[in-house]
Structure 1
Amino acid sequence: MKLVVIAIVASILGFLEARFTNLPVLAAIGIGVAGGVVWTALAFGVSRWIRRHRTLDAANGSALAVALVATMLLTPGLLLETMMFPTADAYLTMIQSGAGSGTVAFYATFNPLTEWILVPLALYFNWPHTGRRRVAIAAATVYYLERASTYLYFAVQILHWQHTPKTPDLLAAVDLWLSVDWTRMAVDGLMILAFVALTFLRPRHPTPTSESYA
């Protein structure tokens, strides 16, 4: 049952990512489903292999890896909106000029890395420690909800701005986006702190292997 849930969530995430490639909806659904099945199969195989080597060091290391990469992803956006392009007009001008295109490779590398590998590993390694499981689940849930909001609103809006003439209505939409984005960054900050906090929680008695994640 756990693998079915994982496959469904992975398929939805894959679909949300694929829909930004301008593919037909049915193709994006196919990619999402295929990606979810393949990822789940790989996760199951890897989990069986590393189950015997699960340690507290792996639990701490995976949580810190998420916090580190998430911080690397959060910092550029924070700097752009607070120091370089703090107004709606300046931010829109930057987006429409293509100046931000240089960051595409950065985000295209580290976002999937965090979504598909680092956060699942942090969940997996911290799952057996009952003193950490709830915090890990809460942090991962917040993270994936934030990613869903990005694919459903934040990224969609930016793509729309690139080919839309600058008007007062568009500037108002950008200003709203920037205001709401502060909430997204605050949520990211809380998620990062939650993963760091995992390393300070002393594990209780481990649960049986049969209850492990994946």
Structure 2
Amino acid sequence: MIRPSVDVIRVGAEGESLVVIDGFAPDPERLVNEAEAATLTTLGAYYPGVRAPVGERYCAEIGPLVAGAARRIFGFTRTLAFDRALFSLSVTPPADLALAQRIPHIDDVAPGKLAIVHYLSHADWGGTRFFRHRSTAFETITPTRHRDYLDALADDLRMHGEPAPGYIEGDTAIFADIGHVAPAYNRAVIYRSSLLHCAAISNDRMLPPVPRDGRLTIASFLSAA
């Protein structure tokens, strides 16, 4: 039986917590097999790849571990519910990335929201980076910060221009890199959905288009009910 190990990393001036869990799922190989059997398609305009829903069994298996971290690390007192969990395979070439895929993003501004990236590749196809927006010094984008952030970002893009095609590999003129979680097979990172982040993907290698060989993750999004 896999015994998870939990580590907590604090990043940036705001001191946000990243919960890194190795041995996250009890049967990661089953998940890779399920991803291979799934119909992966483009879902929305933001993720640079293809996705498919993950079955409810996965949420039931990891739920207690995630709930414990939410209570101990993030101070959640209410029940957590999975909004969605998605097999995610990054496949978009750097030259084809839209603007929203070339800058850090958040998953939600609302309080009581968490996100999880669960790495299922044996090879290192890139982990996750976290960022500070330079002109506002924001690392999390809350409801009260959201409008100011969007206005400042628009000003930044007018001043510096849009970033060149490619994945973000560290500091930029607009964003400062404040932390990085390296990938490992069956590792997960849990963080607040309002924290600026992006996939840490190299621009020097072609991403394999098949789940077993490529950058396969499960992205989960949770809310305090």
Query: Which bracket does the TM-score occupy, shorter chain normalised?
Result: 0.3 to 0.5
More strand by share: 2
TM-score, length-normalised on structure 1? 0.33
- Look at both structures and tell me which one has the larger radius of gyration over its CA atoms: 1
More helix by share: 1
TM-score, length-normalised on structure 2? 0.31
